[in-house]
Amino acid sequence: MKKELLKQILLDQQKIFRRKEYLIDREIDLNKYIGSDEIIIITGIRRCGKSSLLKIISKKINKKHIWINFDDIRFNDFNINNFSDIEEIVYELYGTEEIVYFLDEVQNIKSWEKWTNNLFSKKIKVFVTGSNSKLLSKELSTYLTGRNKTISLHPFSFQEYLKYKKITISKDTTIDKINILKNFKKYLKEGGFPQIIKNNDLELSKQYFQDIIQKDILVRHKIRKQKELNDLVLYLISNIGKIYSYRTLKNLTQIESLSQIKNYLEYLKDTYLFYTISRFDYSVKKQIQASQKIYVSDNSFLESVSFKFSKELGTKLENLVFLALLKKNKQIYYYNEKQECDFLIKDGLKISEAIQVSVYLENERTKEREINGLLEAMEKFNLKKGLILTMEEEEEIKIKNKIIKIMPVWKWMLE
């Protein structure tokens, strides 16, 4: 790539980065990252707001900065010599001033980690974003061990969603509750991608999904059997919260080898598109061998991509609870012995919480099933309290010296 073209691209990108737009602070303590000497890695699914977070950071650092978006198609001819060109261009533009580098979607560029390491050695502050966990972790572990801190970013939480829409979070009056519940039902369907919320355009979700599959999986991994991958993806997105095994997926998708299914699943998880949780067992070996449950990174995909039968309220509610736990950096498992419990939370070496998700408990049989599954998990792990999350119901039940709290998901998410 010629240096003149590179300079023009960088100048164009600075204009884009400086454009004014409505942004909200995310639920992240940025001070500990801004004030540190380490390289800061911001990871997360495409379109979750990583570039916007860089803009927020730029307003807090009070230093000159340069933003380089490596997802720009004009970087197709970028080569290793262009890294030194960037530094020369930065010097031409800013002289000897201290400059902070914002490097967006770096996984697209070969040897980015070596260059970032060189910047670090020159005591230059660097913020990096990326949308592929495997590439980032592999390269970080090789070159940047002990020199980086990571921020895991997700689409908006419900609190961030309300904040973005300038809705006051208050549970004191009936009107406020009605307004929050109304917005929660919209969030349950639309998810938390900022641009979808801003433009009120759920069709963007389908485009995001297709871009990730095409650019980050099919093209990157040179997959020729596209139908195989598409069949697997459609099965997974239509069976959120369901238990699966590799053998089950092999039989249902006609993919010939178990190893290929494992590879596809890893690719999907590397892009932060899907997450899996394991059945809890004190034996790590049994835990690894056990069947898993699948969840998707944003509820909008359940509306825009999945088959119609998977759009039921219970699926959306359970996926949303999983995402809320994920955003709180919880260690999440599921329980499945005589009865089932949707989520177990591990804190250190112990299970600290057991959570069921059920849309409604009006049906006595449903209520009994949910309570029995929760109680069995509580007994197993010696928990005094358990939680059932619902759409609107709220009460507290005492059974056998155990307390079961039933509360709406929206209220739990705002605690």
- Averaged confidence pLDDT in the chain: 92
pLDDT tens readout for residues 190-216: 999 999 999 999 999 999 999 999 999
Return the number of other C-beta atoms located less than 10 Å from residue 207's C-beta: 12
Per-residue pLDDT, 331? 96
Task: Give pLDDT, residue 139.
Answer: 63
CATH code for 3-152? 3.40.50.300
Q: Three-class SS of residue 317?
A: helix
Residue 222 has pLDDT above 70, yes or no: yes
Distance CA 325, CA 277 (A): 12
Q: Is the pLDDT of residue 27 over 90?
A: yes
- Of the listed ranges 24-28, 112-116, 339-343, 353-357, the least confidently predicted one is 112-116
Distance CA 279, CA 333 (A): 6
- The whole-number pLDDT of residue 86 equals 98
pLDDT digits (tens, 9 = 90+) for 324-382: 999 999 999 999 999 999 999 999 999 999 999 999 999 999 999 999 999 999 999 99
Specify whether the CB–CB gap between 295 and 275 falls below 8 A: yes
Retrieve residue 213's tokens.
């599959």
DSSP 68-94: EETTSGGGGG--TTHHHHHHHHHHHHH
Contact by Cβ (8 Å): 124, 115: no
The CA distance from 241 to 315, in Å, is: 7
Return the pLDDT at 355. 98
Q: What are residue 344's DSSP bridge partners?
A: 333, 354
Q: Please name the residue that has the structure tokens 């000497």.
A: 37
Euclidean distance between CA atoms 106 and 112, whole angstroms: 6
Number of Cβ within a 10 Å radius of residue 299: 24
Pick the closest to residue 100 from 24, 40, 20 (CA basis): 40
Chain segment 278-303, per-residue pLDDT in tens: 999 887 777 767 789 999 999 999 99
Question: Strands, DSSP E only, in 146-258?
Answer: 148-152, 243-244
What is the per-residue pLDDT for 254? 82
Mean pLDDT is lowest, of 74-83, 94-103, 245-254, for 245-254
Question: Higher confidence at residue 301 or residue 308?
Answer: 301
Distances (CA, A) of 78 to 130, 217, 306, 309: 18, 21, 37, 46
What's the rounded Cα separation, in Å, for the pair 246 and 242? Answer: 13
58 neighbors 68 (Cβ within 8 angstroms): no
The share of the chain scoring above pLDDT 70, in percent, equals: 94
For 158, list phi and psi in degrees, rounded to 5: -65, -35
- DSSP-derived 3-state class of residue 336: strand
CA 169 to chain CA centroid, Å, is 24
72: Cβ contacts below 8 Å, ≥ 6 apart:
9, 13
Sequential DSSP letters for 13-75: HHHHHH--------SS-THHHHTSSSEEEEE-STTSSHHHHHHHHHHHH-SEEEEEETTSGGG
**What's the average model confidence in pLDDT over 68-72?**
95
Confidence band, pLDDT 50/70/90 cuts, at residue 62: confident
Please give the C-alpha separations between residue 183 and each of 161, 163, 393, in angstroms, as whole numbers: 9, 11, 17
The predicted structure's pLDDT at residue 135: 65
Kindly indicate the confidence band of residue 310, based on its pLDDT and cuts at 50, 70 and 90: very low
What pLDDT digit, counting tens, does each position of 121-178 carry? 999 999 999 998 876 666 665 667 678 899 999 999 999 999 999 998 775 666 688 8
> What number is the average pLDDT over the span 212-223?
93
Strand 243-244 to 274-279 pairing:
unpaired
pLDDT interval class at 397 (50, 70, 90): very high
Say if residue 311's pLDDT is above 80.
no
* Helices within 271-350 (DSSP H only): 284-289, 300-304, 313-327
Contact 247, 265 (CB under 8 A): no
| 344-358 per-position pLDDT tens digit | 999 999 999 999 999
SS3 132: coil
Helix or strand (DSSP H, E) at 398: strand 395-399
Domain ranges in the chain with CATH number 3.40.50.300: 3-152
